């Protein structure tokens, strides 16, 4: 036992919280002491929510998004356009795009990007299942919505090589100056791309 902690149980709880990304020892302590001040029911709800999620979580057999059922709400919704599939890294990206309410197609969650440095190869991602999905037919367009990083670009190129022979339209999301941003603060690469990929203007943005 670490001399620093007045209780082994407290130390254990702090150690567990300190394993979370971005949570240091002091923050972990603060969170644990906060929970300790709550009533038993709230602490049990907290602890059990994550355990239940881990035990009972399902992933959609089509798009690999988290789901409560074998096929997720988006994939099983007949009102969505099954001919357009947006390829993303994580379920957080699905939620971010859904929040825009600008996309009515389906998704495909890769589960990450190709990153040799982190030991993530193409076989660790849901790329084969994407190819399989396209082969089954019905998909006209694949939109790549990956990070603009070395890993994201590598993954995009890998998918391009796999998908290109299958004859579906392949596109990437637009990169440009953020809405509300001032030009002088945009980085050069983004500003450059926004000029090269300019879009027709008919008087309204």
**What is the binding site for a copy of itself (CB under 8 A)?**
3-10, 12-13, 15-17, 19-23, 27, 29-36, 40, 42-58, 60, 65-68, 72-74, 90-92, 94-95, 98-99
CA 99 – CA 7 distance, rounded (Å) = 44
Name the 3-class secondary structure at 88. Answer: strand
CA 155 – CA 122 distance, rounded (Å) = 8
Q: Compare residues 69 and 83 and give the one whose CB is closer to a copy of itself.
A: 69
Question: Percent helix, strand, coil in the chain (nearest 5)?
Answer: 45, 15, 40
In the complex, what is the shortest distance from the CB of residue 26 to a copy of itself, in angstroms, rounded to a whole number?
Answer: 8
CA 117 – CA 154 distance, rounded (Å) = 13
Provide the sign of the torsion angle of the four alpha carbons 187, 161, 170, 87, taken in this order: negative
Q: Compare residues 30 and 140 and give the one whose CB is closer to a copy of itself.
A: 30
In the complex, what is the shortest distance from the CB of residue 125 to a copy of itself, in angstroms, rounded to a whole number?
Answer: 14
In the complex, what is the shortest distance from the CB of residue 45 to a copy of itself, in angstroms, rounded to a whole number?
Answer: 6
CA 11 – CA 9 distance, rounded (Å) = 5
In the complex, what is the shortest distance from the CB of residue 5 to a copy of itself, in angstroms, rounded to a whole number?
Answer: 7
Q: Compare residues 55 and 161 and give the one whose CB is closer to a copy of itself.
A: 55
> What 8-state DSSP symbol labels residue 115?
B
Q: Compare residues 145 and 163 and give the one whose CB is closer to a copy of itself.
A: 145
Q: Compare residues 31 and 170 and give the one whose CB is closer to a copy of itself.
A: 31
């Amino acid at each position: 036992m670490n001399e620093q902690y007045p209780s082994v149980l407290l130390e254990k709880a702090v150690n567990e919280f300190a394993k979370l990304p971005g949570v240091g020892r002091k923050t972990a302590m603060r969170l644990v002491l906060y929970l300790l001040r709550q009533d038993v029911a709230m602490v049990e709800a907290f602890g059990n929510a994550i355990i239940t999620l881990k035990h009972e979580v399902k992933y959609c057999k089509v798009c690999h998004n988290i789901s409560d059922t074998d096929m997720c709400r988006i994939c099983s919704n007949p009102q969505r356009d099954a001919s357009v599939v947006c390829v993303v890294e994580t379920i957080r990206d699905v939620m971010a795009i859904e929040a825009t309410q600008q996309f009515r197609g389906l998704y495909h969650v890769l589960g990450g990007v190709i990153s040799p440095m982190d030991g993530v190869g193409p076989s660790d991602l849901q790329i084969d299942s994407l190819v399989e999905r396209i082969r089954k037919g019905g998909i006209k367009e694949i939109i790549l919505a990956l990070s603009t990083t070395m890993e994201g670009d590598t993954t995009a190129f890998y998918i391009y090589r796999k998908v290109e022979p299958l004859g579906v339209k392949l596109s990437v999301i637009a990169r440009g100056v953020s809405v509300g941003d001032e030009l002088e603060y945009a980085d050069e690469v983004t500003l450059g791309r926004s000029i090269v990929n300019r879009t027709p203007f008919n008087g309204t943005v």
